[in-house]
């Protein structure tokens, strides 16, 4: 295992037209650890994640990568999307193969597809169309596709928020295991505090718009021995909620926020 990739943000700010959504964000995503971004909706989490992966140019500040990338890594900074972003005209296996085409030989590609589908419990669905899958299964394809390129850094934008509560709980445990196993640097955006304390090594709390860093809290326990409902996690969740509830209520009163940036 290599040292892994570190993502360093230095005084990042962003404005859409003249609306400032992010201000003075300096932050480091440590190699092999999960950094969770939480904050009320509309505070710029998706914008920040877009900037971190090079999908959006920040108005001010810089984002730098530092570290080593495994030689078989095909796409160092890799997203998992809230709306899954699957091609409806490709089968499950075809959606995974999409990101490998032209980079791996046919045989290597087939092996890689088989491997990540097995890892995400999708082997039996390799030939299914996305429309035939439940939301949870679709997001499994999203994560399989992301793992297939052997990313150095996973950027996940509310990957569970389009799913129902039960599917979310099941998938959350799978995510924890997959992230722990792959050891990639991970940035995970959520507005769900239970997800934050379950997955995060560091939880970055953003204020409401314009998003600034309010607080960074660390949880050092390994992901594998965290269980939903552990007392310390529940206490942490409550503390986080105390921190952001006023902001969340204010953001709510600010009225509807328009669509997400599609990172």
Partner 1 sequence: MPRLDGPVPFRGGGFAPQSRAWAAAATLLGLIALWQAAASAGAIPTLFLPPPAAIARALWHLTVSGELWKHLSASLSRLAVGWVLGTVFGILTGIAVGLSSALRSPAMAVVSALFPIPKIALVPLFIIWFGIGEGSKLATLGFGVFFPTVIATAGGVDNVSRGLIRMGQSFGLSTWEITRKIVLPGALPAILSGFRVTSSIAIVLLVAAEMIGADRGIGAFVLSAGNLYDTDNLLAGIVLLSALGLTVAWLIGLAERALLRWR
Contact call for residue 44 and ligand ADP (CB under 6 A): yes
Torsion of CA 171, 173, 174, 179, to 10 degrees: 120
Closest-CA residue to 128 (of 89, 85, 92, 87): 92
Contact call for residue 140 and ligand ADP (CB under 6 A): no
Please provide residue 6's backbone torsions phi and psi, each rounded to the nearest 5 degrees: -110, 140
CA–CA separation, 203 and 39 (whole Å) = 10
Contact call for residue 190 and ligand ADP (CB under 6 A): no
Find which of Mg ion, ligand ADP, partner 1, none residue 262 binds, CB within 5 to 8 Å per kind. partner 1
CA–CA separation, 167 and 226 (whole Å) = 18
Nearer to Mg ion, 109 or 209 (CB): 209
Find which of ligand ADP, Mg ion, partner 1, none residue 171 binds, CB within 5 to 8 Å per kind. none
Nearer to Mg ion, 42 or 200 (CB): 42
Closest-CA residue to 45 (of 203, 254, 178, 182): 203
Nearer to partner 1, 34 or 263 (CB): 263
Find which of ligand ADP, Mg ion, partner 1, none residue 16 binds, CB within 5 to 8 Å per kind. ligand ADP
Minimum distance of ligand ADP from residue 196's CB (angstroms): 14
**Binds ligand ADP (CB under 6 A): choice among 5, 7, 12, 21:** 21
What residue has token string 């090079």? Answer: 54
Residue 53, classed as helix, strand or coil, is coil
Contact call for residue 46 and Mg ion (CB under 5 A): yes
Nearer to partner 1, 98 or 250 (CB): 98
What residue has token string 């509560």? Answer: 165
What number of other Cβ atoms are within 10 A of residue 110's Cβ? 14
Binding site for partner 1 (CB under 8 A): 53, 55, 74-75, 77-79, 81, 83, 85, 87-90, 98-99, 101-102, 129-131, 145, 149, 262-263
Residue 219, classed as helix, strand or coil, is coil
For residue 215, the cross-strand partners are 205
Q: If binding means CB under 5 A, how many residues of this protein chain bind Mg ion?
A: 2
Minimum distance of ligand ADP from residue 211's CB (angstroms): 7
Task: Tell me the per-residue interface mask from 205 to 224 with ligand ADP, x by CB under 6 A, - otherwise.
Answer: ----x---------------
Contact call for residue 43 and ligand ADP (CB under 6 A): yes
Provide the edge-to-edge strand list for the sheet that holds 77-80.
77-80, 153-157, 185-189, 34-38, 202-206, 213-218
Q: Which range, of 61-69, 101-109, 216-224, 252-260, touches ligand ADP by CB under 6 A?
A: 252-260
For residue 156, the cross-strand partners are 80, 188
Contact call for residue 260 and Mg ion (CB under 5 A): yes
Closest-CA residue to 22 (of 51, 54, 2): 51
**Binds ligand ADP (CB under 6 A): choice among 9, 31, 41, 67:** 41
Task: Please check whether residue 211 is in contact with residue 45, taking contact to mean a CB–CB distance below 8 angstroms.
Answer: yes
Residues at the contact surface with Mg ion, assessed by CB under 5 A: 46, 260
């Amino acid at each position: 295992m290599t040292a892994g990739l570190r993502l360093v943000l230095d005084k990042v700010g962003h404005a859409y037209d003249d609306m400032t959504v992010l201000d003075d964000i300096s932050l480091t995503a440590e190699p092999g650890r999960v950094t969770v971004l939480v904050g009320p909706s509309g505070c710029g989490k998706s914008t920040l994640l877009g900037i971190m992966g090079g999908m959006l140019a920040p108005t001010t500040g810089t984002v730098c990568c530092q570290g080593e990338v495994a030689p078989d890594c095909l796409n160092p900074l890799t997203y998992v999307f809230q709306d899954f972003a699957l091609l409806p005209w490709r089968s499950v296996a075809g959606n995974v193969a999409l990101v490998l085409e032209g980079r791996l030989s046919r045989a290597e590609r087939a092996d890689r597809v088989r491997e990540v589908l097995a890892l995400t419990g999708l082997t039996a669905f390799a030939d299914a169309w996305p429309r035939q899958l439940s939301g949870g299964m679709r997001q499994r394809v999203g994560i399989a596709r992301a793992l297939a390129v052997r990313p150095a850094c996973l950027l996940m934008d509310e990957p569970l928020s389009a799913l129902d509560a039960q599917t979310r709980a099941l998938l959350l445990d799978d995510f924890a295991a997959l992230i722990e196993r792959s050891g990639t640097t991970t940035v995970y955006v959520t507005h769900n505090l239970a997800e934050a304390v379950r997955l995060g090594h560091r939880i970055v709390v953003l204020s409401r718009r314009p998003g600034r860093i309010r607080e960074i809290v660390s949880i050092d326990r390994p992901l594998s021995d965290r269980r939903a409902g552990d007392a310390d996690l529940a206490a942490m969740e409550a503390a986080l909620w105390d921190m952001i509830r006023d902001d969340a209520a204010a953001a709510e009163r600010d009225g509807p926020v328009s669509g997400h940036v599609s990172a």
